[in-house]
Amino acid sequence: MKLSFSQLKWANLIIHGFAVAHALSTALLRSFGTDPGWLLSILTILMILLLSRINDTPLDVTAAIALISCLAGFYLGTLGADVMLVLLPHSIILSQVIMTILVTEILGWLTFLIVRKSKSR
């Protein structure tokens, strides 16, 4: 199936927008000493839902991708932040913000590719 310009434009807007939202949420909540995990999970589910809607993905597929993305996001984000902390030992919040952006972008684009391919079947 050929990708429309509109779908790609919306995917860019959604994924980059949610990466910024994840980063701001992480920075703000971490600066107050609060764990941002609950808010990041909600934002991830919303991102998956929007990406699925622009591709008319069935609800069961959307739910499965959302669940897997939340688990993968938590695991990759936690592990990645620990690795980043080695590179940036004096900036805990910055290492978490960087990993949040990377993980959100990866999950977003993987989701977009999966739901786009599933639509063509």
Q: What's this model's pTM, rounded to 2 decimal places?
A: 0.89
Question: Which pLDDT score, from 0 to 100, does residue 34 have?
Answer: 94
Residue pLDDT, tens place only, 40-80: 999 999 999 999 999 899 999 999 999 999 999 999 998 99
Question: Which pLDDT score, from 0 to 100, does residue 116 have?
Answer: 86
Assess whether pLDDT exceeds 80 at residue 4. Answer: no
Q: Cα–Cα distance between 67 and 74 in angstroms, integer?
A: 11
Q: How many domains does the chain have?
A: 1
Residue pLDDT, tens place only, 77-102: 989 988 988 988 888 899 999 999 99
**Residue 88 has what DSSP assignment?**
S
| 22 exposure class (CB count in 10 Å sphere: 0-12, 13-18, 19+) | buried
Assess whether pLDDT exceeds 70 at residue 23. Answer: yes
Which structural domain, as residue segments, surrounds residue 47?
A: 5-120
